[in-house]
Amino acid sequence: MPDDIVPTTTAPKPAPLDKKAYKSDQEVRWCPGCGDYSILNAVQQLLAQLGVPRHQLCFVSGIGCSSRFPYYMNTYGLHSIHGRAPAFATAIKTANPELQVWIATGDGDGLSIGGNHMLHLLRRNIDVKVLLFNNQIYGLTKGQYSPTSPPGLKTKTSPMGSVDRAVDPIRFALGCGATFIARTIDTHQKHMLAVLEAAAKHKGTAFVEIFQNCVIFNDGCFDEVIERSVRDDKTVDLIPGKPLVYGKQLDKGIKIDAAEARVVAPAEATSWDPSTRSAAAAFVLSEMAEQPGSPTPIGIFRSIQSPTFDEGMNKQVQAAVAKRGPGKLQDLIWSGDKWDVK
């Protein structure tokens, strides 16, 4: 047996870091004005705030403008293939549980080609954080519609308007049984930081949809909701334990009732609890924006505790070792019924 193997590095004592430390030496290659910049900024700031050592971080992505993210983080990073980041991340976290693993993905990468892996990541509840950059378009391939594009959108591949119904990432994640689901906005740094912090602290898959502006191919696609002048009236922030109130003057509230959510006076608003056994209230909220006159919920839709796959896997290994003793090659090979030839 080889015992001359170089050991893995043992627990390090990291120096405290500032935001800049998380910037890699690579030139950022996004278009000027792209919403991706502010997401990168928020993540770097958050990690500095939380003081996560760089070497314990791993960013995994697929392909797309958004998926270039790992190159710009001075951490471990894997820019993989289109749509498959969840599969890589699942293994990385399971094989190396001490890492904090983040996925950067786009609406095309994560919900078109990668929809299946996203489903299985969410249901398995791998302890990774997902940043879904939703710009309702394929950026890197120069402007085709995506699964989140609104029906009717005219793009290069839908010159007469898309006939696809859009998928709602939040509802999809709920349907997949995700344990943490949130939504935030590229231009709303404060909100993004708060949501990302909650995501970072969640144990299990934290799924965060980020409204992200593609200045080149779908500029302003969220403006009706997120434009600064209307944002407070057009969004409602889901803050655990807080009433669902919104509006510039916090003059409106949301009441969830009989499997419907409706706009009410602030005093009547439901106090938000994303950790109920049932995800139904979150589901109701996820549908709300489609009702005329209702705000778009942002913030934390869902946050529950549930066993994670990566931990489950490792526990089984420990249990097997505890029960059968650490596997010995000799025993393995020399198992079964044998006979001798002299």
Residues 113-142 that bind ligand SF4 (CB under 6 A): 135, 139
Q: Taking CB under 6 A as the rule, does residue 213 contact ligand TPP?
A: no
Question: Residue 235, class by beta-carbon neighbours within 10 Å (0-12 exposed, 13-18 middle, 19+ buried)?
Answer: buried
Residue from the set 163, 322, 333, 341 that interacts with a second copy by CB under 8 A: 163
* Residue placing its CB nearer to other proteins in the complex, 55 or 262: 55
Give the range of 4-12, 20-28, 271-279, 294-302 binding a second copy by CB under 8 A: 271-279
Task: Rule CB under 6 A: say whether 304 interacts with ligand SF4.
Answer: no
What letter would DSSP give residue 283?
H
Per CB under 6 A, contacts with ligand TPP among 62-91 are 63-66, 82
SS3 330: helix
CA distance 101 to 137: 26
Which 40-79 residues touch ligand SF4, going by CB under 6 A? 65
Q: Is 62 a binder of Mg ion (CB under 5 A)?
A: no
Q: Confirm or reject binding of residue 60 to ligand TPP (CB under 6 A).
A: no
Question: According to CB under 8 A, which one of 119, 153, 182, 208 is a site residue for a second copy?
Answer: 119
Torsion angle, alpha carbons of 14, 15, 21, 24, to 10? -40
List the one residue from 46, 206, 245, 284 that touches a second copy (CB under 8 A): 284
Contact status: 289 vs a second copy (CB under 8 A):
no
Query: Under a CB-based contact definition with an 8 Å cutoff, are residues 260 and 276 in contact?
Result: no
- Selection from ligand SF4, ligand TPP, a second copy, none that 216 binds (CB < 5 to 8 A by kind) is ligand SF4
**Which class for 16: exposed (0-12), middle (13-18), buried (19 or more C-beta within 10 A)?**
exposed
Picked from ligand TPP, other proteins, a second copy, none, the partner binding residue 304 (CB below 5 to 8 A depending on kind) is: none
Residue 174: helix, strand or coil by DSSP? helix
CB-CB contact of 185 with 135 (8 Å):
no
First and final CA of the chain: distance in angstroms?
27
14 interface partner picked from a second copy, ligand SF4, ligand TPP, none, CB below 5 to 8 A per type: none
Q: Is there a contact between 59 and 77 (Cβ–Cβ < 8 Å)? A: yes
Which entry of Mg ion, ligand SF4, a second copy, none binds 206, CB below 5 to 8 A by partner kind? none
- Which sign does the torsion angle of CA 317, 323, 328, 332 carry? negative
Residue 294: CB atoms within 10 A of its CB come to: 18
Radius of gyration of the chain from its Cα atoms, rounded to whole angstroms: 23
Interacting positions 134-153 with ligand TPP (CB under 6 A):
135, 137-141, 146
Q: Is 214 in the site for ligand SF4 (CB under 6 A)?
A: yes
Question: Rounded distance, CA 314 to CA 208, Å?
Answer: 26
Q: Residues in the site for ligand TPP, rule: CB under 6 A?
A: 63-66, 82, 106-109, 133, 135, 137-141, 146
Residues that bind a second copy (CB under 8 A): 112-116, 119-120, 123-125, 147, 151, 160-161, 163-168, 171-177, 256-260, 277-281, 283-284, 287, 290-291, 306-307, 309, 312-313, 316, 319-320
Residues found near Mg ion in the complex (CB under 5 A): 106-107, 135
